[in-house]
Amino acid sequence: MSELESKIKSWLDDQGYPLEMRVACAFRRAGFRVLQSEYYADPTSGVQREIDVVAHVDRRFEKLLVRIEFVVECKSSKSKPWVMFCASDQRLANPARVAQRTASEIGSDALLSLAQRKDVQDLDLFSVAHPPAYGITQAFTSGADVAYAALTTVAAAAAAAAIEADQYSKLASPFAKIVFPAIAIEGKLFSCVLQDDASISVSESQHGTLLWRNQFAGEPHTIVTLLVDGELSDFAGRAFIAASKFLSLCESEMLESLHGWNDRQKKPKS
């Protein structure tokens, strides 16, 4: 390897590009269709922005296309671990774990119908790590909040994907999409929990769930998965199995939601 090639490789490592490639590879090997460096229209500003990895699996029920999609932001943070702030008494009810997901209009209606079913609640797709986090930061820094920026990006990308599906439904053919935002971290991840005696407990984690009270997609929470580099293959494999199982369980609810959506489209607008 020449000196210039070595410098380029070091620069790529510092910028996190190899992580993005590994994330894409893990989802592709699991069975997803994968896009890298995909662009989306920011729901707030309309400006075109970039998300690192988009992975999806589809199923068609009659005229309705149903898509389970993961949008993933990748961050290299080898020297500055990320810290999740968790509350041991924080809970999300089982139906809410299903219903409060970023989704298109048809997808969201179907999730409301499916939320009471235990076989759906038990899918890895809708699991929430315990204790869940309510906030996140990057340790040992006083500059730009990289964690918050990544969180904002992936939440906006998920919301944009749901909006895109709604637009496609109105202009072309019905499209239901359920979107799962995730952040992949090359580095360490820790959880910080306030104990009953007011002491702080800090422990290393391999993954976590952030219940972010920022209503990007109109739900009470934006539910974001956080995972470290070493969890990629296992996470992608379990995600594909769970997504495939969900698609085998949701046909009647999806078609019922489609019929309701069609009825609403026929009503004259006031």
Task: Single out the residue of 188, 191, 187 nearest to residue 134, CA to CA.
Answer: 191
pLDDT at position 196, please? 73
Strands 175-194, 64-86: parallel, antiparallel or unpaired by DSSP? Answer: parallel
Tokens of 30: 């699991």
pLDDT at position 228, please? 96
Task: Give strand pairing partners of 189.
Answer: 82, 205
What's the rounded Cα separation, in Å, for the pair 99 and 117? 11
pLDDT at position 94, please? 96
Biggest CA pair distance of the chain: 68
This prediction has a pTM of 0.91
Torsion region of 178: left, alpha or beta (phi above 0 gives left; psi -120 to 50 gives alpha): beta
Q: Write phi, then psi, for 43 (nearest 5 degrees).
A: -60, -25
Listed as ranges, residues in the chain with pLDDT below 70 are 4-17, 142-143, 215-218, 268-270
pLDDT at position 8, please? 57
